Amino acid sequence: MIGAIIGDMIGAPYEFDQGDKTKDFPLWGRRSQFTDDSVMSLAVAEALLEAGDCEESEFKRVLIYSMRHWGRNYPYAGYGAMFIHWLADRDPQPYWSYGNGSAMRVSPAGWFYPTIERTREAARWTAEVTHNHPEGVKGAEAVASAIFLSRKGETKEDVKAYIEREFGYSLSRTCDEIRPAYRHVESCQETVPEAVTAWLEGADFEDVIRTAVSLGGDCDTLTCIAGGMAEASYGVPEAIRTEAEKRLTHELRDVLLRFERKAAERIEGGLA
């Protein structure tokens, strides 16, 4: 999950098409800080720690509590307008969104379960509490699936084929073809395929991050999604991880470390 957080931080200064659409940029700067993408990814992670293998209604209850807890603790992280209302509502309900928020927060689900079926189920639940439009659900399931399959040792070619077959995304364009006309857009439909393509073309973790940033658009979220997949493929260089951890608050870093320990235990025990 740290890969997604790193992608969020490094992409944040270039959100709203503020970059030069190049891979040649300083990896870290003063504005390389976490946003709502990281906060909600960690909220999902904490919910998985608490709910784990619960059935749907309990899982969603715990998830909603966690998302609202962390959202209220970090109210200025950059949430969308509908999500802000959801955080404040006395009885929060899903709002038929197909925004890319469901895909940017789902990375923990890709590390926590032993089968692709269970991974997709959990990913679907993490989306449905807010983003219950079919495209919002599909985006979350696709990202979690890519992470799961990659950490299980599947090749990029096999993961690409799975995503195209199961979710109907077209991954035929290259980043060079996407880049010139790509713009800031916040839907799963126009973020997830681009993030997957950046991951497919990246040669290592850092290169995936740089490739994602070079596309522009909703850069923190796109790079968050790509970074989550890159971690599953390549791991994360220690120097990059250290820099990212310094930019998290103590309480957010605590959730990250607790989740990583638990995920590792589950993997070693055959539960993930």
Q: Which domains does the chain have, with CATH numbers?
A: 2-267 (1.10.4080.10)
Checking if the pLDDT of 17 tops 90, the result is: no
* Alpha-carbon gap, residue 32 to 19, rounded angstroms: 13
> Are the C-beta atoms of residues 50 and 255 closer than 8 Å to each other?
no
Residue-wise pLDDT for 209-223, tens only, equals 999 999 999 999 999
Checking if the pLDDT of 245 tops 90, the result is: yes
The whole-number average pLDDT for the span 45-59 is: 95
In angstroms, what CA-CA distances link 105 with 115, 238, 269? 20, 23, 25
What is the pLDDT, as a whole number, of residue 207? 98
* Alpha-carbon gap, residue 44 to 120, rounded angstroms: 14
What is the pLDDT, as a whole number, of residue 81? 95
Instruction: Write out the two tokens for 243.
Output: 């820099």
Band (pLDDT 50/70/90 cuts) for residue 28 is: very high
In angstroms, what CA-CA distances link 195 with 83, 133, 220? 22, 20, 11
Nearest to 69, CA basis, from 48, 97, 39: 39
Length of the chain: 272
Alpha-carbon torsion (120, 122, 125, 130), positive or negative? negative
The whole-number average pLDDT for the span 73-83 is: 96
* Alpha-carbon gap, residue 37 to 43, rounded angstroms: 10
Cβ-proximal residues to 259 (8 Å cutoff; 6+ apart), any chain: 1, 42, 45, 46, 48, 49, 108
What is the pLDDT, as a whole number, of residue 111? 98
Band (pLDDT 50/70/90 cuts) for residue 16 is: confident
What is the pLDDT, as a whole number, of residue 260? 98
Task: Tell how far CA 168 is from the center of its chain.
Answer: 19
Band (pLDDT 50/70/90 cuts) for residue 121 is: very high
Instruction: Write out the two tokens for 235.
Output: 């791991």
Cβ-proximal residues to 9 (8 Å cutoff; 6+ apart), any chain: 32, 33, 34, 35, 38, 220, 244, 247
Cβ-proximal residues to 109 (8 Å cutoff; 6+ apart), any chain: 44, 48, 119, 122, 123, 126, 140, 144, 147
Residue 187 backbone dihedrals phi, psi, to 5 degrees: -95, 155
